[in-house]
């Protein structure tokens, strides 16, 4: 069974640019979660998508946005990049029920210079 | 605000010893609890799930849950240097349809030969 896949692995952008990160969930999983993990910090919840709808978002500015496609894959967009956006962005999927664990992809390392 | 607390460590144990990792949570309605292992620069990997009070064993790992005390722990028997990683506790609030896991900041474990 293929795991959660994320692309690209690394992304280098300059301040003010836009970044697009992509995620394909495990087959059969309808929920996709995005987390940000800045260096030395814990996982900060960004966005949750389920069945194509945004279900919840964390305490991040509106320049962080995303969507989920009919095949349940997802993309995260970050506009007007700032230096502090540099972090590991993790996508995780689950079967969409409250007692299900998350399965993480390998992450996208975003560096903003 | 829902919180998950872990001692950041590092917890240092000799090879072959038992490592004990602890986690407390604030949301009494939480029903699902997970432990993840995260190696430096990598994504979290699910190692244990527990849903009922008591102990759950899987190989060298034992998860313990006490809902009355809002406490969950992970024991690693016969610790190996390859167990050196950060261990994340995650709690799912399964009420209200908001299935957003809350993660602790993790405990760094160092197993020395």
pLDDT at position B30, please? 81
pLDDT value for B95: 62
Strand partners, B77: none
Q: What order do you get walking across the sheet with A74-78 strand by strand? A: A5-7, A19-24, A74-78, A64-68
Interface test with B, best of A54, A98, A103, A105 (most B CBs within 10 A): A98
Residues of B in contact with A40 (CB under 8 A): none
Within chain A, what is the greatest distance between any pair of CA atoms? 40
Residues of chain A with pLDDT under 50: none
A–B interface: beta-carbon pairs under 8 A: 59
Could B106 and A42 be called an inter-chain contact, meaning their C-beta atoms sit closer than 8 Å? yes
Q: How far is CA A62 from CA A71, B37, B60, in A?
A: 25, 31, 44
Chain B residues with beta carbon closer than 8 angstroms to that of A97: 99
- Tell me the helix, strand and coil percentages in chain B, rounded to 5: 5, 50, 45
Q: Give the H/E segment covering residue B108.
A: strand B107-112
Q: What is the pLDDT of residue A56?
A: 92
Task: Provide the pLDDT for residue B1.
Answer: 61
Distance set, CA B70 to CA A27, A45, B22, B64, B99 (Å) = 34, 22, 11, 11, 19
HSE of B72 in the Cβ direction (CA atoms, 13 Å)?
A: 31
Question: How close does chain A come to B17, measured CA to CA in Å?
Answer: 27
Q: Which of A79, A85, A109 is nearest to A6 (CA)?
A: A109
User: In a structure prediction context, what are the per-residue pLDDT tens digits for chain B, which is 113 residues long?
Assistant: 678 999 988 999 999 999 999 999 998 888 899 999 999 989 999 999 999 999 999 999 999 999 999 999 999 999 999 999 999 999 987 666 667 888 999 999 999 99
Q: Do A33 and B103 touch (CB under 8 A)?
A: no
pLDDT of residue B82: 97
User: How far is B89 from B104, CA to CA, in rounded Å?
Assistant: 5
* A101:B46 CB<8 A: yes
Give me the residue from A48, A88, A101 closest to B34, CB to CB: A101
Q: What pLDDT is stored for residue B101 in this prediction?
A: 87
Partners of B43 on chain A (C-beta within 8 Å) are 88, 90, 104-107
pLDDT at B92: 86
Cβ(A107)–Cβ(A39) under 8 Å?
Answer: no
Roughly how many angstroms between the first and final C-alpha of chain B, as a whole number?
A: 41
B82 in reach of chain A (CB within 8 A): no
> Cβ of B88 and A102 within 8 Å?
no
């Amino acid at each position: 069974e293929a795991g959660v896949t994320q692309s690209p692995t690394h992304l280098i952008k300059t301040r003010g640019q836009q970044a697009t990160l992509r995620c394909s969930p495990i087959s059969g999983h309808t929920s996709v979660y995005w987390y940000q993990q800045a260096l030395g910090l814990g996982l900060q919840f960004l966005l949750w998508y389920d069945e194509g709808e945004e279900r919840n978002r964390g305490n991040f500015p509106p320049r962080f946005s995303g969507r989920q496609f009919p095949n349940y894959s997802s993309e995260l967009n970050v506009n007007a990049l700032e230096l502090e956006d540099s972090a590991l962005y993790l996508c995780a999927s689950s079967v969409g029920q409250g007692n299900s664990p998350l399965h993480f992809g390998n992450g996208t390392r975003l560096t903003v210079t | 605000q829902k919180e998950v607390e872990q001692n950041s460590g590092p917890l240092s144990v000799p090879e072959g010893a038992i490592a004990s990792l602890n986690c407390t949570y604030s949301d009494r309605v939480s029903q699902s609890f997970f432990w993840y292992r995260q190696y430096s620069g990598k994504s979290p990997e699910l190692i244990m799930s527990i849903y009922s009070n008591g102990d759950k064993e899987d190989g060298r790992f034992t998860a313990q849950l006490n809902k009355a005390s809002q406490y969950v722990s992970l024991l690693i028997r016969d610790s190996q240097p390859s167990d050196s990683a950060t261990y994340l506790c995650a709690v799912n609030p399964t009420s209200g349809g908001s299935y957003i896991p809350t993660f602790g900041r993790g405990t760094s474990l160092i197993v020395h030969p």
